[in-house]
Structure 1
Amino acid sequence: MKQKLLFTLAIVFTTDFLCAQHIQFRFCGATTAVSPTNDPSTGADQRKKGAIRLDYISLGLPGQSECCPFHAIGYSSSTKPWTFANATFADGCSANNRNGDCTPCTTCKDPYYGNNIVVGKLWGQIYGNAKVEGLNSDLWIESTGQFNQVCFETSKIDVSPYRGRKLEVRTVFQGYADSQFSIKNVNFTYRYNADPYPATPYFWNKNSNIIGIYAETNSVPVVPITAVEDLSDQLEFDVQPNPVIDLLILELNILESFSGSIKIWDIQGKQVYSEDMQFSEGSLSKSIPVQDLNAGVYQVTISDQEGRISYRKFFK
C-alpha cells in the first residue's frame, strides 16, 4: 500500500508541479503608408501621421487585469520597469522582402524595457518605410502599408500557477491618422505553449478606419493543465545512480547549445536545488551533491529560457 501511494504521489507531482505553461500574445496592425517619410515643410519624420500606439497589455485574474495584473507590458508601475524603452526597434526596411522578421532592415531589434530586458519580438511584413519604435513608455507601429501586417509578439509568459483557471487580458491602444492617411486594421490574439495561433485573431479584429483610444478587456480561456513543450530537440539526459546516496550524476547529451537551469524538486513540489548553467553542444557529466536530501522521491528538471522543460525522477 505504501509503495502504491508513493507511486501515485510521484505521478501527481510530475503533472502538477513540473509542467511549465506559457502564454503569448500577438498585437498586429496595418496603416496606409505615409509618404514622404519626412514632412516637406519641416523636414521632420512624419510617419506617426499613420500609426498605431500600443499603450499596454496587462494580464491578471478575472477582474484584476486593470487594477493589479501579475504581468504587464507597457504598463506604468511603481515597483516594476514595465514600460517600453525610448528606442527605434525597426527602421530602414526598404530592402526587406522577408515575411516574418526585420533582419534585412538597417535597424532591427527585439522590443525591450528601459532596463534592456527583451519583452518580445517583431513579426510580419515590415517593408518600405515602416517603422516600429518605443516612445514615452509606448510602442508605435508606423506607416506599414495598407496590406502589410506588422505585429508585436510578446515573450512567453509563465502562467503555470494558474493551471485550470481563466485569466483576463486588458489591451489599451490608439489609432492615429490625419486626413491623408488611415488605420486599416488592428487585431489581437494569443496562444498557449507551442500551439499555432488561431487562423482568425481570437480576441478581436478591427477593420476600417480605427481612430482614437480603445480599451479592450477580454477573458482568456482556461490555462491548460498539461504542458506540451519539452527539450527533446535540444537535450537527451539520464540520471545515475538511481537510487542515489550522496552524489547524483547527470549524463547529458546536448544536441543544441542553450542557456538554462537545473533544479531538483521534492514530492511536494518544493525546490531543493537550483543552478543556472550554459549548456554547450556535446556530451558531459554533471555531478550534484545530494547527501543532505531526505529519503524519498525527487525530480530533476532542466529548462531553457523559453520555458521548455525535461525531467527525470530519482530516488534517495
Structure 2
Amino acid sequence: MRLNIVSALLISTLFFSCNKDDSGHDGNSAEIDYKQEMRKFVIGISRYAKNQNSGFIIVPQNGIELVTQNGEILGEPHHDYLNAIDGNGQEDLFYGYNNDDEATPVQQTNYLKSFLNVSKNNGNTILVTDYTGTVSKVNDSYQKNEAEGYISFAANERGLNKIPEYPNPLHHENDMAVTALSQVKNFLYLIDPSDFGEKADFINAVTATNYDLLIMDLFFTQDEMFTEDEINQLKIKANGGKRLVLCYMSIGEAEDYRYYWQQSWTNNKPVWLDTENPEWTGNFKVKYWNSDWQQIIYGNDTSYLKKILNAGFDGVYLDIIDAFEYYEQ
C-alpha cells in the first residue's frame, strides 16, 4: 500500500550507514545485489511457512522485476523465486500510478505487464489493485484486467479502509468453495479496520460480502490481534461459500505501531533500521537483508509470520517488496 516509488524517491533524503551489519555487507556497498537479497528473503519466508503448512499461500506485492534473473524485461525467468510464490500483487496497473482515479500511463502499464506475464506464465495468479472510484473507470479497470487474465480489485480509497459499494453484485460473484488461489475470481483488500468501531463490526461487514479472497491485517488495533476463531468466521462468504483469507505483512519497512517496535530505537537505532518514509509516517526503511530484521519477520516461534500461521490465515501478502529500488539509487 504505497505511492509509486518514483514519487517517494524524489522527496526522500537518501543516506546510508557505512557500518557493516551482521551479514557482512556495507549499508551502501556495491557488493550487495539488492534484488537478489529480496528474492532470498521471500524464498526464506516461503520455505518456512510451507514447511509448516504446505498449502500456505505466498504473494509478494510490487517489485515485479524480481521475476527475471537480471530484473530486465527480456531476462530469463528466475525459477527459484517464481516457484517459491503462488502469485504476484500489483498496485496501480491501470489506475492510480500518478494520481488516484487517473489512468496509469500506457508505457508504465506495458512495462509492468511484461513482468507480470512472466509470473502468470509460470502458473502464478496475478492480483491487481487499481485505485479508482468513478463508475466508468471501475468498469474499465475490471475489463482490462480480465482481458489480461488478472484478478483485480478497484479500491476507492488509497488507505484500503473501505468496502466499495460498487460494483454490486461483485465482478464474477459466485458461491464456490474457494480453496486455492487459482480459483479466485475477485478479492477485497481491506487492511485498515479503523473505520469499524468494534471487531464484530469488521467481521459482520466482511461476512456480508461474497468476495472470494480477503486481504486483511493480523491486528484490529495496535495491540489486539484477530483470533483463529474470528479468521475462520471471515472465511465464509454471505452465500455460504468458502473464501481465502491472506494476511498483509510489510517486510521492506518497519512500522512503529507494530508489536515488535521498541521505544529505545528512537534514539538508539539497530543497524538495520534506516530513514523514515516521508510519505507514510511511522514507516521506516530497513536493510532487509540483515538477519536481525529477518528474524523479526520469520523463522522462529516469536516471529511475525509465526503469529500469522497460528491465527489460521491461508497465506501472506508481502508488501514493500520494491524496497530494493530505494537502495539501488
TM over 0.5, shorter chain: no
TM-score range, shorter chain: under 0.3
The two structures have a TM-score, normalised by structure 1, of 0.25
Q: Which has the higher strand share?
A: 1
